[in-house]
Amino acid sequence: MTKRRVVITGLGVVSPLGIGHEPLWNALLNGQSGIRRLEAFDATHFKSQIGGEAPRFSMADYVPKYYRKSTKVMARDIEIAVVAAYLAAKDAGLRTKCLIERGEAEAPSSVDSTRFGANIGSGLICADLNELAGALATAADPGGGFSLRRWGSEGMNNLTPLWLLKFLPNMLACHVTIVHDAQGPSNTITCGEASSHLAVGEAFRTIERGAADICICGGAESKLNPMGLLRQELVGRLATAFNHAPERACRPFDAERGGTVISEGGGLFILEELEHARRRGARIYAEVIGFGASSNVHSWTDPHPEGEGIALAARKALADAGITAEQIDLLSAQGVGTVAHDLSEARGIRRALGDRRDVPVLATKGAVGNNGAGSGAIDLAMATLAMFHNTVPPSRNTEKVDPACGLRVVTGDPIDARVRCLLSVAFALGGGQNAALVLKRYQE
């Protein structure tokens, strides 16, 4: 059976540098940073007190009027996904249920809902401590410890009945599919920083094999929560030396890198079968031609020193795309800014591509930080635009590339680059999941 061609026709991005893909793209070109001292909660007693906070927004601007009540049971992660979905659908020129009911598109819908799928990466959403406090207090035993018996008999009664609906990882896809009436194959993937790439890869496969004509896919997460910050602090991944200068903290592949920075955001894409996109005259950003994934658990906290899992996923993606490493013109790297993870990634990339020091490397996290499940989507969206505009933005804070990494990370100013094929990689900082995607400049 002939594989169906799959193209990207819409981008929706939420990041610490703005709402939408254009504000982020322009900020990267200008070397701006979205990292600040945290305001979402009091981080005074943490070693790292900085992060990337997305701008505040009103959910009423992104859902139909009848759905506004449902936004009250959305955690921040869910809100980001719903906003990104709206932006992606609008950017693609789709007439979905959401846009029609908001009066921003004319009926009828341009999408067969039964063939409209969704694959969205999510984190394990941190509960709001303020909402748990009362319930936990009533579950305390006389000595001040936690009593499981009292939690069941008294504590849980102090939670609102719909409390859990705010924090289930699948609720990102749930709300997006309801709002846009996507009735096709749907899936949620929770594999840390690899989630977005795995979700896009699954959407690619779904359309390729004919199970859907169009999919909304990507990922979103907010790590701006005391528990999220504490978890990263306990495993020693955070940059702690730049609380006085947050914008300088995250330094992908830099010789002086010292840790990552938490943030929030994400991105969703509209993937479409080529003929479906052509029939409606859609703008095409790029074609997805290859996907690969692997699992390589070295340890829960530390990556494989030689990046074996990354190399395997990349090789699979190249083989799936039917191209060689020599045909890659741009590498979109994860580059979280920790010593071990960046070195592991660089070694894995070199194992897959060979010693291709001529290939420019795009790394975004110096500007926006690491938001987990949504970070790969942001990377992929910016790589897509780099191909579309023939320009690669510089990596913020990468001043002297670590010789041990051996990569050509773009620094200083944007560079002109004719990109025909790009490779984008992502991997979970803990858990061992790896994913890679190959995009090609669209040609008839």
Per-residue pLDDT reduced to its tens digit, 390-421: 999 999 999 999 999 999 999 999 999 999 99
Please give the C-alpha separations between residue 102 and each of 62, 91, 106, 216, 423, in angstroms, as whole numbers: 9, 15, 10, 19, 37
What lies within 8 Å, CB to CB, of 427 at 6+ separation is 193, 194, 303, 309, 310, 313, 334, 345, 433, 434, 435
Max Cα distance, the chain (Å): 72
Is-above-0.85 flag for pTM? yes
The Cα 7–Cα 287 span in angstroms is 4
CB 331 within 8 A of CB 353: yes
| Residue 439: its H or E element | strand 433-440
**Which CATH architecture fits 6-126+167-440?**
3-Layer(aba) Sandwich (3.40)
Domain boundary assignment for the chain: 6-126+167-440, 129-163
For residue range 141-177, what is the model confidence (pLDDT) as tens digits? 888 899 999 999 988 888 888 888 999 999 999 999 9
Tokens representing residue 27 in the block: 């900020």
Report CA Rg, the chain.
21
Beta bridge partners of 172: none
Within a 13 Å sphere around the CA of 252, how many CA atoms are in the beta-carbon half? 26
The Cα 423–Cα 437 span in angstroms is 6
Identify the pLDDT of residue 65: 97
Amino acid at residue number 120: I
Mean pLDDT of 304-324: 98
The Cα 170–Cα 190 span in angstroms is 9
Residue 49: helix, strand or coil by DSSP? Answer: coil
